[in-house]
C-alpha cells in the first residue's frame, strides 16, 4: 500500500526487489525476494545501503565519512500519475517506465534523495528509482569468494547484478502500477550513467530494457587483476583492491602483526575459511578498510569489473563499436562545466574566507583546468561512445542522441560568482530532469528565485524530451511537439549535439559540437589562461589523474617530463 506523493503523484516507497544480501548471501548474486500475503505498507523510503556519510547526494544525517547504512537495502521507489485502483492502465494503455539509477561514484547515494512525482504526473509515465549495493559490498572480486560460485556470481559485479535483478522485478511487477514492461527506459547520472553503459554491455540485462539515457556517465571499467591482485604483485593491483582490503582487515582484527604475517594468515585460512570469515564481519568494519575521499565520502576503488561474463573483457568502447551491446536507442550527454563541482570542493582551488565565503585561489587556472576536464568528460563519456554505437548500429539501426547541458545562471552570493565557480556543473541537470528544485539549504542557494521562470521552462523542455524518448525512442520535438527538433548523432554531418539552455544564453539548439582528445590537448596548449609550460602541464596532470582517455603516454607526449603519478615523485 502506497500513498499520496508530491506533485499530485501516487508513491510507493521502499518496495524490496530481492532478499537482503546478508550473512551467507553477502557477495552473492541477488535472490528474488520472498512473497508476502495481505497488505504491506510502502510509505517509507528504504534504508540506504552501507556507505560513508556525505552531503553530496548520499546520507547527510551523520558527520561526513562516518559509516552509515544497512545491507538490507535492496529496494525501490515507484511514482505514478494519480488514478483509482479501477483505473490503473492495462493492455495498450500501460505507461512508459523510466528506471532511475542514482550516482555517487558507486560508493555513496540513496533513492530518498530523489523525487520522481512531478516527472510521473506531468509526463504521464511511471518512474522507478532503484538502490543497489555500493562500494566494497557492491564490487568485490577475490578468489576466496569465487570458490563454488557460477560465472555471474564469481564476477565480483554484485552491484551490477542488483540492477539486473531490479529490472527483472520491473518486468514481472510494474504492470500492477500501470507501467508497460515492454517499454522500459533506464536512465542514470554519473556512476548511474556508468551503470547504464554497463547494462547496455551486459548479456545478463538483454531484453530487460528498451531505451537508455546516460547522464554524465563514463566507460571506465576495471580489469580483474587490478581488482584483486596485491599492490606489490608482479602484476600489481589497486591499492584499494580486495586483497589489500583483506590484509588491512586482518591487521585491524589483530589476526596479524604486519603485512607479511597478514599474507601468511590469509594463505593458511584457505578459500573456504577466508570466505566464511569475510561474510561474518560487521559490514561497517569492512567499509572502514577503505579510505574515502575527504570532500565527498566516495571511495576510489575498483568497481564495475570487466570480468568477461557479466561485463565483456577489454575496452568497452571497442565492444560498443563491435556491436556487442543491447542495440537500443540511446541518449548520452554531459554538462558543460562538469568538473567545476569537484574543483570547487578542493581547498587548493577555492579558499573559504571567514569559513564560508568562497574565493578563487587562481581563477584563470581554475577555469582552464575545469574547461579541459569537462570537455574530456564529453569526449569520453558521450561523443566517443555515440560514435562507436552509431558505427555498429549502421543505417536503420537504433539511433543515438547527444546533448550538452549549459545552464549556468546561479547568483552572486556575498561576492562569490557561483556562475563562474560552478556554472553548468556535475549533477546540476538532475533537478531539471525531475522538475524538483527543493534540495535543501545548499540547493536553494544555487536555485534561487532569480530566473525561476526561465529555469522552469528549461526543466519542462527537458522532461518533455526525456519522456518522449521513453515513449518512442526518439525525443524529436518533445511530447507536445513544441520544442526544437533533437536529431540523431551524425558523425559526418552538421548535427551532433543538442545544447540545453535558456533563451538568454542561446536557448535550445542543435550544434556540430564533438569533443576529441587531440582537439582538447591542442586547446590547452593554446589557452592564454595557462601561459607557461608548467601551467599547461599542471592541467595535463589533472587530466591524467582523472584517467579518462588521457594516460601516462599522453602526458609524456605533451612534453611534460616525469609522469605526475610516479610513486617516486
Percentage with pLDDT > 70 across the chain: 98
Least confident of 155-159, 499-503, 542-546: 542-546
| Residue 567: predicted pLDDT | 45
All three cell numbers of 72: 538490507
Which cell numbers hold the place of 419?
A: 556562475
Q: Which domain holds residue 534?
A: 524-557
Helix residue ranges per DSSP H, 394-451: 418-421, 430-434, 440-446
pLDDT digit string (tens) for 398-444?
999 999 999 999 999 989 999 999 999 999 999 999 999 987 777 77
Of 245, 272, 287, which residue sits at a domain end?
287
Residue 524 has pLDDT above 90, yes or no: yes
In contact, 197 and 223? CB cutoff 8 Å: no
pLDDT band at 35 (very low <50, low <70, confident <90, very high): confident
Please say which residue of 239, 271, 287 terminates a domain: 287
Answer with the one of 239, 260, 287 that is the final residue of a domain. 287
pLDDT tens-digit profile of 9-31? Answer: 999 999 999 999 999 999 999 99
Establish if 7 belongs to a structural domain.
no
Per-residue confidence (pLDDT) for residue 569, from 0 to 100: 33
Query: Which residue is associated with the grid cell 564495475?
Result: 304
Of 376, 370, 337, which Cα lies nearest the Cα of 219? 376
Q: How far apart are CA 44 and CA 278, in angstroms?
A: 31
* Pair 74, 32: CB distance under 8 Å: no
pLDDT recorded at residue 417: 95
Give the H/E segment covering residue 4. strand 3-4
229, 235 contact by CB (below 8 A): yes
- In a 3-state reduction of DSSP, which class is residue 85? helix
Q: Report the mean per-residue pLDDT for the chain.
A: 94
Give the model's pLDDT for residue 93: 97
Q: How far is CA 562 from the centre of its chain?
A: 32
Can you tell me the distance from the alpha carbon of 132 to that of 564, in angstroms, rounded to the nearest whole number? 35
At residue 449, does pLDDT exceed 60?
A: yes
On the question of pLDDT at 453 being above 80, the answer is: yes
Residue 547, by phi and psi: left (phi above 0), alpha (psi -120 to 50) or beta? left
Distance CA 471, CA 96 (A): 6
pLDDT tens string 463-488: 999 999 999 999 999 999 999 999 99
The pLDDT tens digits of the residues spanning 59-101 come to 988 999 999 999 999 999 999 999 988 899 999 999 999 999 9
Type and span of the H or E element at 470: helix 452-472
Position 216 scores a pLDDT of: 98
Helix (H, G, I), strand (E, B) or coil at 58: coil
Q: Are strands 412-413 and 416-417 parallel, antiparallel or unpaired?
A: antiparallel
Does a structural domain hold residue 275?
A: yes
295 by Cβ neighbours in 10 Å (0-12 / 13-18 / 19+) ranks as: middle
Contact 488, 209 (CB under 8 A): no
What is the rounded average pLDDT of the residues 243-264? 95
The owner of cell 575527504 is 294
E strand segments, 196-266:
211-215
* Cα 488 → chain centroid: 23
Mean pLDDT, residues 307-328 taken together: 96
- Residue 355 is predicted with a pLDDT of 63
| Residue 512, CA distances (Å) to 385, 498, 505 in order | 16, 9, 18
Has residue 232 been placed in a domain?
yes
pLDDT for 393: 86
Question: CB count, 10 Å around CB of 188?
Answer: 27
Kindly give the residue spans of alpha helices, DSSP state H, lying in 394-448: 418-421, 430-434, 440-446
Flag the least confident range among 55-64, 168-177, 536-545.
55-64
Coil, strand or helix: which one is 400? Answer: strand
Q: How many structural domains does the chain have?
A: 2
Of the pLDDT bands very low, low, confident and very high (cuts 50, 70, 90), residue 40 is: confident
Q: pLDDT at residue 566 above 60?
A: no
Q: Establish if 318 belongs to a structural domain.
A: no
Output the pLDDT for position 568: 37
Q: How far apart are CA 187 and CA 466, in angstroms?
A: 9
Residue 517, classed as helix, strand or coil, is: helix
Give CA angle at 469 (468, 470), nearest 5°. Answer: 90
* Longest Cα separation, the chain: 71
**Residue 210, SS3 per DSSP:** coil
What is residue 83's predicted lDDT score, i.e. its pLDDT?
92
Residue 190, in any domain of the structure: no
pLDDT attached to residue 561 = 81
Q: Is residue 381 in some structural domain?
A: no
Q: Residue range 279-303: average pLDDT?
A: 94
Region of poorest pLDDT, from 55-64, 131-140, 304-313:
55-64
What is the sign, positive or negative, of the torsion defined by CA atoms of 32, 35, 41, 47? Answer: negative
Task: Specify if 252 maps to a domain.
Answer: yes
Amino acid at each position: 500500500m502506497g500513498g499520496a506523493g508530491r506533485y499530485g503523484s501516487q508513491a510507493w516507497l521502499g518496495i524490496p526487489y530481492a532478499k537482503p544480501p546478508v550473512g551467507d548471501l553477502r557477495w552473492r548474486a541477488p535472490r528474488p525476494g520472498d512473497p508476502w500475503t495481505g497488505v504491506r505498507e510502502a510509505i517509507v523510503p528504504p534504508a540506504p545501503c552501507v556507505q560513508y556519510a556525505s552531503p553530496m547526494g548520499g546520507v547527510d544525517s551523520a558527520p561526513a565519512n562516518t559509516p552509515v547504512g544497512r545491507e538490507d537495502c535492496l529496494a525501490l521507489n515507484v511514482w505514478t500519475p494519480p488514478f483509482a485502483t479501477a483505473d490503473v492502465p492495462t493492455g495498450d494503455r500501460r505507461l512508459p517506465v523510466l528506471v532511475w539509477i542514482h550516482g555517487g561514484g558507486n560508493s555513496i547515494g540513496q533513492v530518498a534523495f530523489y523525487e520522481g512525482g512531478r516527472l510521473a504526473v506531468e509526463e504521464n509515465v511511471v518512474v522507478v528509482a532503484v538502490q543497489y549495493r555500493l562500494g566494497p559490498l557492491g564490487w568485490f572480486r577475490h578468489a576466496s569468494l569465487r570458490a563454488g560460485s557460477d560465472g555471474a556470481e564469481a564476477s565480483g559485479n554484485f552491484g551490477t547484478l542488483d540492477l539486473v535483478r531490479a529490472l527483472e522485478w520491473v518486468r514481472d511487477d510494474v504492470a500492477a502500477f500501470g507501467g508497460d514492461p515492454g517499454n522500459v527506459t533506464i536512465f542514470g547520472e554519473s556512476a548511474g550513467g556508468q551503470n547504464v553503459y554497463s547494462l547496455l554491455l551486459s548479456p545478463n540485462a538483454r531484453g530487460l530494457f528498451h531505451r537508455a539515457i546516460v547522464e554524465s556517465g563514463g566507460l571506465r571499467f576495471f580489469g580483474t587483476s587490478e581488482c584483486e591482485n596485491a599492490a606489490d604483485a608482479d602484476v600489481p593491483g589497486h591499492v584499494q583492491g580486495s586483497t589489500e582490503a583483506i590484509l588491512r582487515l586482518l591487521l585491524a582484527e589483530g589476526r596479524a602483526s604486519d603485512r607479511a604475517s597478514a599474507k601468511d594468515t590469509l594463505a593458511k585460512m584457505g578459500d573456504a575459511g577466508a570466505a566464511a570469515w569475510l561474510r561474518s564481519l560487521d559490514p561497517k568494519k569492512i567499509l572502514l578498510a577503505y579510505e574515502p575521499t575527504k570532500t565527498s565520502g566516495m571511495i576510489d576503488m575498483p568497481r564495475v569489473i570487466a570480468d568477461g561474463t557479466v561485463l565483456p573483457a577489454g575496452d568497452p568502447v571497442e565492444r560498443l563499436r563491435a556491436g556487442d551491446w543491447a542495440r537500443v536507442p540511446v541518449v548520452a550527454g554531459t554538462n558543460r562545466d562538469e568538473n567545476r563541482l569537484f574543483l570547487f570542493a578542493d581547498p587548493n582551488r577555492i579558499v573559504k574566507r571567514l569559513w564560508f565565503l568562497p574565493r578563487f585561489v587562481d581563477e584563470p587556472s581554475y577555469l582552464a583546468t575545469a574547461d579541459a576536464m569537462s570537455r574530456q568528460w564529453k569526449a569520453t563519456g558521450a561523443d566517443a561512445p555515440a560514435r562507436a554505437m552509431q558505427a555498429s548500429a549502421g543505417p536503420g539501426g537504433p539511433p543515438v542522441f547527444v546533448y550538452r547541458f549549459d545552464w549556468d545562471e546561479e547568483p552572486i552570493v556575498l561576492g562569490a560568482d557561483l556562475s563562474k565557480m560552478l556554472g553548468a556543473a556535475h549533477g546540476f541537470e538532475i533537478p531539471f530532469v525531475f522538475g524538483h528544485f527543493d534540495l535543501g539549504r545548499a540547493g536553494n542557494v544555487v536555485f534561487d528565485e532569480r530566473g525561476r521562470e526561465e529555469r522552469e521552462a528549461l526543466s519542462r523542455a527537458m522532461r518533455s524530451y526525456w519522456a518522449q524518448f521513453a515513449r518512442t525512442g526518439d525525443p524529436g520535438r518533445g511530447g507536445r511537439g513544441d520544442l526544437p527538433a533533437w536529431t540523431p548523432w551524425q558523425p559526418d554531418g552538421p548535427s551532433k549535439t543538442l545544447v540545453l539552455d535558456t533563451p538568454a544564453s542561446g536557448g535550445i539548439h542543435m550544434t556540430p559540437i564533438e569533443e576529441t582528445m587531440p582537439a582538447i590537448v591542442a586547446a590547452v596548449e593554446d589557452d592564454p589562461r595557462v601561459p607557461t609550460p608548467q601551467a599547461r602541464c599542471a592541467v595535463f596532470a589533472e587530466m591524467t589523474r582523472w584517467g579518462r582517455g588521457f594516460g601516462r603516454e599522453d602526458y609524456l607526449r605533451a612534453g611534460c617530463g616525469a609522469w605526475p603519478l610516479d610513486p617516486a615523485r
